[in-house]
Chain A
Amino acid sequence: MDIFQVVGIGLTGALLAVYVKESNREIAVLISLATGLVLFIYALSQVGEVINVLAELSSRANINRYYLMIILKIMGVAYIAEFGSQICKDAGESSTATKIEFAAKVIVMVLALPIIMALMESVLRLLP
């Protein structure tokens, strides 16, 4: 099972980071960053299959491919921003983490604008 590998890598990285932290704090942050990267890359390879299924379902349901792309882009932005803000929080820079999250929210809103506009237009068409 892959979950044992994931938990093992996580525990090993955490243990090494704690061990190195007292003598060398920057390297401890880099170790936790590398552990997170390895785990994220693994998780991403699984997410790819889910997205393929989603794309097939949407094409079968005749949903516009443009909207699915927007949703996937928003997911990607959220994924990257979450990762970066968690790393900043681990390093003790919670103000930078908050700014990353804020920027991600703005980017998500900009990406979602076409969907909001389409919703508005359909609501206006329904109104007499």
Chain B
Amino acid sequence: MNIELIFQIAGIGILTSIFHIILKQAGKEEYSFIATLAGVAIALIMVVQLLADLFQQVKGVFFL
């Protein structure tokens, strides 16, 4: 059970929300959107790897 991944994703979420606020204060609305998108993409890549792991394990256990 790797709980580090959950903390990593939460950290990415908090960081992207801080970037969002800072860039919005600085008047760079378009960059703030891109920063949020990048954070979501990075977190999505991590989650998708875990999802593939789960699917492989289910395939192995249930002979799918």
Contacts and interface: CB of A to CB of B under 8 A. Distances in A.
Interface of A: 5, 9, 12-13, 16-17, 19-20, 23-24, 26-28, 30-31, 33-35, 37-38, 40-42, 44-45, 47-48, 51, 69, 72-73, 75-77, 79-80, 83
A16 B6 contact: yes
Contact of A12 (B6, B50, B61, B62): B6
Given A19-B10, A24-B36, A30 B47 contact: yes
Contacts of A30: 9, 13, 40, 43-44, 47
Nearest to A74: B62
Q: Mostly helix, strand, loop or mixed at chain B's interface?
A: helix
A23 B6 contact: no
B49 to A, nearest CB: 10
Interface in B13-52: 13-14, 16-17, 20, 36, 39-40, 43-44, 46-47, 50-51
